[in-house]
């Protein structure tokens, strides 16, 4: 690494530290919005959250998690029944297939338990790094950073990422964010993305990061 590149990275780490400091102060209660009791429930809820709001998922899982408690439960019923149970989350046929395949592999390879490593977790059908990170960050230890739509948008506007590739964004964030903050980072940025840094009409004039953000004002 050239001296210039090293200095640039150090500057970005300092700017990231300031971003984190301000977001911690702004959103002290930021946490995951999905409701769950176990790692397995969080896995199912995260699968259901694709292209669906967390509030809608929570409405569905309130009864779903009473009916289905183990991987075996999801395999025991006809797929059509599971589809109807998760219908309100959208893309219910694809999600039902993913859930059943995921449960089958959990039983066959992992004894019905949640994998403990990112590498193992992402071998589950339909499970990518984002879903794996969501569960591991809550129940095991952070092995990556969750990058969803809100996180990608905010870090791009802040100038920490110049690509749309979620995996490359994650790796860049892992270089800039202290490991102790990996799990908390996504919750803070998601809260900011929902409240202020919206996809349309971001509220730049109200933003706590306004003076250190290169994104142009739109108000």
Residues that are catalytic = 130, 148
- Rounded Cα distance between 56 and 168, Å, is 30
Instruction: Indicate the helix (H) or strand (E) that contains 6.
Output: helix 3-26
- Rounded Cα distance between 216 and 175, Å, is 25
| Structure tokens belonging to residue 32 | 């995951």
For 91-139, give the DSSP string: -HHHHHHHHHHHHHHHHHHHTTSPPSSHHHHTTSTT--HHHHHHHHHHH
180-217 as b/e: b if 16+ CB within 10 A: ebbbbbbbbbbbbbeebbeeeebebeebbbeeebebee
Burial class (CB within 10 angstroms; exposed 0-12, middle 13-18, buried 19+) of 14: exposed
Distances (CA, A) of 167 to 53, 103, 146, 164: 22, 25, 10, 9
């Amino acid at each position: 690494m050239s001296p210039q590149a090293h200095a640039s990275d150090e500057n970005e780490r300092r700017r990231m530290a300031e971003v984190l400091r301000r977001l911690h102060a702004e959103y002290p209660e930021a946490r995951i919005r999905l409701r769950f009791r176990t790692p397995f429930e969080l896995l199912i809820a995260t699968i259901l959250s694709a292209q669906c709001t967390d509030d809608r998922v929570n409405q569905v899982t309130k009864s779903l998690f009473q009916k289905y408690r183990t991987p075996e439960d999801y395999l025991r019923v006809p797929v059509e029944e599971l589809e109807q149970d998760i219908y309100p989350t959208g893309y219910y046929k694809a999600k039902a297939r993913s859930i059943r395949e995921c449960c089958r592999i959990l039983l066959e390879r992992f004894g019905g338990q949640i994998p403990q490593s990112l590498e193992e977790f992402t071998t589950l059908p339909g499970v990518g790094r984002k879903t794996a990170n969501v569960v591991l960050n809550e129940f095991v230890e952070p092995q990556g950073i969750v990058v969803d739509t809100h996180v990608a948008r905010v870090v791009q506007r802040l100038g920490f990422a110049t690509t749309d590739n979620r995996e490359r964004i994650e790796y860049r964030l892992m270089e800039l964010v202290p490991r102790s903050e990996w799990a908390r980072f996504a919750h803070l940025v998601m809260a900011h993305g929902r409240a202020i840094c919206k996809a349309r009409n971001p509220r730049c004039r109200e933003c706590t990061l306004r003076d250190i953000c290169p994104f142009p004002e739109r108000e």
